[in-house]
Amino acid sequence: MYSQGLINADGSTHEDEAFLEAFQERIDREEKIEPNDPMPEGYRRTLVRQISQHAHSEIIGMQPEGNWITRAPSLKRKAALLAKVQDEGGHGLYLYAAAETLGVTREELVEQLLQGKAKYSSIFTYPTLSWADIGAIGWLVDGAAIMNQVPLCRCSFGPYARAMIRVCKEESFHQRQGYEIMLTLCNGTPEQKAMAQDALDRWWWPSLMMFGPHDSESQHGDQNMAWKIKRFTNDALRQKFVDATVPQAEFLGLKVPDPDLAWNEEKGGYDIGPIDWDEFRSVLKSGGFCGRDRIRNRRRAEEDGAWVREAAAAFAEKQATRQADAAAA
Ligand SMILES: [Fe+2]
Ligand SMILES: [Fe+2]
């Protein structure tokens, strides 16, 4: 599956068992791998794939919530939501920068997204139907993101690990602002509480799907664990999320939409009912309910922003000419 070539500084590659062993030893010693260090081609490719998908998810993830900025119910909510959506844009940018250290350009990655060729998390193709969805996304989607991302702060690749430290601090604010929206709705009128329940009903299962397929079905799991790109399996992270979130739902007085949900004393965690992977696969296949809109909006934003990039480039060129003239004078 993975080509295990070694890339030399001049771009040539070759297979070398001793190198691969030495690389694994560095990983086992918990040394951080930095961009200029030699690394197996499979390691580099896995990281480019994972970091770029992560970056695209942050950028596309701005849309479902951006949809509610103009309709936030108060100035305070609007300010918090605006800050959150801007944070997500920032996360995308750190991550594109981390991917660039592996030899791809941001332009290439953005182009793949605009052409609809790049993958991003399917959760962001679901529509946001009510204000309560903004609460549910912060609470559940950012909550699931935290579970996935906290272990990435210890990822073996230095730039990714360091980007994740700041990202996780911001995600924790996102999760709290979402939960606080849910709490306010749940302490409000019966209609508001019903809205919160409806949002939980629609976002619960897609949030569990964010952890990816079960370990038994996961393709790259073992190698990524060995390289310490991943620290916990999909199922272990999903379990942590369920165990942390169910008591929060109880505190809100909401019902998790899973008739099979039950505390398992023996494992010290909750058992959940079967996940509808057909839905997951059909979202991946069709591009999801809002998938086409998400890409169309991104393309429009790229076109609308073209003048800014052109103006910045023209200004930089003018500055350079002036500096050159001044130096010559
Ligand atoms: Fe984020
Ligand atoms: Fe977030």
Q: CA dist 216 to 2, 141, 234, 235, Å?
A: 19, 24, 10, 9
Q: Among residues 161, 61, 151, 146, which one has the least CA distance to residue 101?
A: 161
**Residues 235, 224: Cα–Cα separation, whole Å:** 15
CATH 3.20.20.120 fits 17-288, yes or no: no
Q: Tell me: the pLDDT tens digits for 249-288? A: 999 999 999 999 999 999 999 999 999 999 998 888 888 8
Distance 169 CA to ligand 1 centre (A): 10
Distance 171 CA to ligand 1 centre (A): 6
Q: Tell me: the pLDDT tens digits for 141-200? A: 999 999 999 999 999 999 999 999 999 999 999 999 999 999 999 999 999 999 999 999
Residues by chain with Cβ below 5 Å of ion ligand 2: 142, 171, 174
Distance 158 CA to ligand 2 centre (A): 21
Distance 62 CA to ligand 2 centre (A): 9
Residues by chain with Cβ below 5 Å of ion ligand 1: 58, 88, 91
Which residues neighbour 205 within 8 Å (Cβ) at sequence distance 6 or greater?
257, 275, 276, 279
pLDDT at 238 over 70: yes
Q: Is 7 exposed, middle or buried (0-12, 13-18, 19+ CB in 10 A)?
A: middle
Transcribe 265-296 into DSSP letters: TTTTEEE-----HHHHHHHHHHT-TTHHHHHH
pLDDT at 222 over 90: no
Distance 138 CA to ligand 2 centre (A): 7
Report the pLDDT value the prediction gives residue 13, as an integer from 0 to 100. 59
pLDDT at 218 over 90: no
pLDDT at 1 over 80: no
> Which ligand is located closest to the Cα atom of residue 57?
1
Distance 137 CA to ligand 1 centre (A): 12
Distance 75 CA to ligand 2 centre (A): 20
* pLDDT bucket at 239, cuts 50 / 70 / 90: very high
* pLDDT bucket at 329, cuts 50 / 70 / 90: confident
Distance 55 CA to ligand 1 centre (A): 9
Report the pLDDT value the prediction gives residue 2, as an integer from 0 to 100. 39
Domain borders along the chain are 17-288
What is the pLDDT of the chain when averaged over all its residues? 92
Distance 118 CA to ligand 2 centre (A): 20
Distance 172 CA to ligand 1 centre (A): 10
Distance 272 CA to ligand 2 centre (A): 25
Distance 57 CA to ligand 2 centre (A): 10
> Which ligand is located closest to the Cα atom of residue 178?
2
* pLDDT bucket at 8, cuts 50 / 70 / 90: low
Report the pLDDT value the prediction gives residue 15, as an integer from 0 to 100. 53
Which residues neighbour 87 within 8 Å (Cβ) at sequence distance 6 or greater?
170, 173, 174
pLDDT at 39 over 80: yes
- pTM, two decimal places: 0.90
Distance 255 CA to ligand 2 centre (A): 24
* pLDDT bucket at 202, cuts 50 / 70 / 90: very high
Q: Tell me: the pLDDT tens digits for 110-119? A: 999 999 889 9
Distance 268 CA to ligand 2 centre (A): 29
Report the pLDDT value the prediction gives residue 97, as an integer from 0 to 100. 96
> Which ligand is located closest to the Cα atom of residue 58?
1
Q: Among residues 89, 88, 210, 198, which one has the least CA distance to residue 141?
A: 210
Q: Tell me: the pLDDT tens digits for 57-82? A: 999 999 999 999 999 999 999 999 99
Report the pLDDT value the prediction gives residue 3, as an integer from 0 to 100. 42
